[in-house]
Amino acid sequence: MKNSNALIIIAKYPEAGAVKTRLNGSMRDDDILRLYTHLLEQTILNLRQIPGVDTYIAYMPGTAKIYFSRFLTGLVPLSPDDLGANMSHSFEVIFGKGHRKAVLVGADIPGLSASIVLNAFDLLSDNDLVFGPAEDGGYYLVGMSKLIREVFENVTWSSEQTLRESLEQAGKSGYTAGYTKKLRDIDTIEDVKKAGFAV
């Protein structure tokens, strides 16, 4: 039987030069690829079997199905659209499958745990939206009980304004938001060092 809660892990296929591009010039290409692959696989392995939650990987490019199939989760292929369009599409697909609550996370957050994901689902019982704030002003997690496209529109992605702009979009329609704990994602060489990875 399908669970009412669904987790979406949004991920890129590990390919040199195509992942963690903000680290280009700070680390060697093969080291960046090794770091991203580690973060991706650890995230999936840690989160794919949360009790009461069906897990999906929303992946790009769409030709990477064979690679992601080995993780034994549901799969949602994505197009080369911008991040907001891909997140919106992911939620649309998952709600179309009959899930009642959905939480989407990135694949580059070392501190992300099953307990944080479960807390996000709990927060959706009293809020229209839930966000997991990142220390850089963005967010590593977003959840909702129905597709709220507005939070993905007219937003500057990968900036210190990302969360604020999504909240402004939600506020215009009167949606309420809850928050999980603030975490650090891995975007810059400073993030890599603070997370304790060798560089």
Q: Is residue 121 part of a domain?
A: yes
The gap from C-alpha 127 to its chain's centroid, in whole angstroms, comes to 19
In this structure, is residue 78 part of a structural domain?
yes
Domain assignment present for residue 128? The answer is: yes
Q: Could you give the number of structural domains in the chain?
A: 1
Report the CATH number at residue 132.
3.90.550.10
Residues 145-149: contacts with CB under 8 Å, at least 24 apart: 145/100, 145/101, 145/102, 146/95, 147/88, 147/91, 147/92, 147/95, 148/173, 148/175, 149/88
Task: Tell whether 30 is covered by a domain.
Answer: yes
pLDDT attached to residue 113 = 96
Range of the domain at 11: 5-194
CB 187 within 8 A of CB 36: no
Over residues 53-87, the pLDDT tens digits come to 999 999 999 899 999 999 999 999 998 778 999 99
The burial class, CB within 10 Å (0-12 / 13-18 / 19+), for 154 is: exposed
- Segment 27-39 shows an average pLDDT of 91
DSSP state of 68: H
Is 37 a member of any domain? yes
Residue 48 lies in a domain: yes
If one counts every other C-beta atom within 10 angstroms of the C-beta of residue 41, the result is: 14
pLDDT digits 0-9 by tens, 93-132: 999 999 999 999 999 888 999 999 999 999 999 999 999 9
Cβ–Cβ under 8 Å, residues 150 and 172: yes
Q: Is 199 within the bounds of a domain?
A: no
Q: Indicate the pTM of the whole model.
A: 0.93
